[in-house]
Structure 1
Amino acid sequence: MKKLLLIASFSLGVAAAAQETKTEAPVADTAKAWSIQGQNTLMLNQAAFSNWVGGGANNVGWLAGVNYNMTYEKGKDLWENIIILGYGQNNTQGTGVRKTQDVINLSTNYGREFAKNWYFSAGVSLQTQFAPGYEDGNNPDAKKISNFMAPGYLNVGAGVTYRPNDNFTMTLRPANARWTFVLDKDLQTAGTYGLKNDGDSSLFQFGFLGTAIYKVKIMENISLINTGSVFSNYLDHPERLVLSYSGVLNMKINKYISTNVTLDLLYDHNQIQKTQLKQTLGVGFAYNIDNGKKRSDNKDNQSWLKK
């Protein structure tokens, strides 16, 4: 009898220990390492007139674009990728087709965390446009002033990135190489986009680059994305800063319809010694992509933040 009780007690003890071990097992980290947020847009505008005393010209326009932010965040690794593409035209009776939007902006930045929210980082970015640009309101009969990769700006650099949350990212690169490419032979003249000599196809600069992205949710379905950058060339006239700002106000009407207002400001001494401004307003179709809960929304899954 005593042997039976001893065996039963031992069995219960093993089962309880197994149950306790199972309970104390660490919870699996199921948070997604990749988060993808994107917007695909097609904006349309049109106006028609017939015997309208107030006057006006028939016109139709369109603007298409994609804006994607793909982020990999796991352990101490942070890898952010941005794809911004946009192109638009307007056809006005008596004037013809004019380009209204033209942008290619690609960037990637990898960071390794060394302190809470701080990363040693390195990255590459490219900015250019799809089609030729002309003086006189993009009149194709006027003088050509830009084209694909004319200019094209390639930045390669290393520094630090500060990212306390998904809404703010700042990168400071004290070591940044910047190439300005002018691959259109019609534009390869001394002084154009900083070129030193006639026939040159590129200009090399080395200096400091700072960039920042700040996202603000103004209210439900209304958001503002602010992007700014500053570049100073150590090798020649470091006081001539290249400054840029971009603001995108998105007002979502429903799942597929939204209104976008954009504002771009740029000052680059090598382009034109004046502040450049571009503003657009569009209402149309927008398809948003968000793959759900991001790893950064669940900091408990990141042991490296527990300090």
Structure 2
Amino acid sequence: MLNFILRLVARLPLRLVHGLAAIVGWFAWHLGGERKRLSLLNVDLCFPELSAAERRRIVYRSFGHYYKTLSEYPLIYLGDADRLRALTVEIRGQDLLDQALAEGKGVILAAMHLGSFEVSAIPMSERYTMTGLFKPVKYAALSDLALKGRSRFGGQVVPIVKRNGKRAVGSQLLRALKRGEIIYAVPDRDPPRGQGVFAPFFGIEAHSPVLIPKLVQATGARVLICYGERLPKARGFVMHFVEPPAGYDSEDLQRAAAAINAGTEACVRAHPEQYWWGYMRFKRRPDGEISLYRKTARRTAPPTAARDGREAA
């Protein structure tokens, strides 16, 4: 039954799917809940220079984009291949990707939670040899769907597994880079404790992944930040490839993570309403700092004070 429903959704016009997703987002916004609380707090922390109304507007619009992203997965994983290819109406920075590949050391795509990366990236895997990470979800049927969907055009997927209590991705990514291929990983998440460093993101110390910097150190691969911008009125998507600021290849992991964070921040600032604000990006704090997500924090401190993460307990 699930497969039937997903295949049905995959055949619907994108404008209708996005319209239904916008309605769901409207209801989710008005129902409130934890996602709304976290989103409002994150935007308050990251955009203190904006008015309260402007920050609230970003979060409201982000709800619609969040559910649009979820509604696109049936089309991405099961929809007509030609139709999916046609959704990418423009690729900006493809010359950067081709130039980086020509160096022969591989390319790491820092694929962030902005817009829809997979709409464009999955079809591109029939032209470029690509390997990405995959975190299995609780329900086996959905994991299997995602696994097959992400590899339907020839891309390779590496499951994230735990070994000795720690997450491991195996040696597949390293081997792919040494063959001069493309891999992609997520830079805008809070990794498990001990697997990241603190680096600024919107002026806030954020626990940041070091997988990408470590792979750069091991291979000399180039890094490009990428995301799929969702165009209004279901007109399609624009795929962006953007060079990160200098320092992403530093041997200092903290400096490298800071450069990647700065690059992702610039992309978010360009399209803040399409970012996934409902995630605890600043969950872990440096020693001595209290949680930014305490339910009392937002009521007792203005955004400018909360940015320091050192308000009195």
TM exceeding 0.5: no
More strand per residue: 1 or 2?
1
| Rg larger in structure | 1
The structure with higher relative contact order (CA 8 Å, sep 6+) is 2
Q: Which has the higher helix share?
A: 2
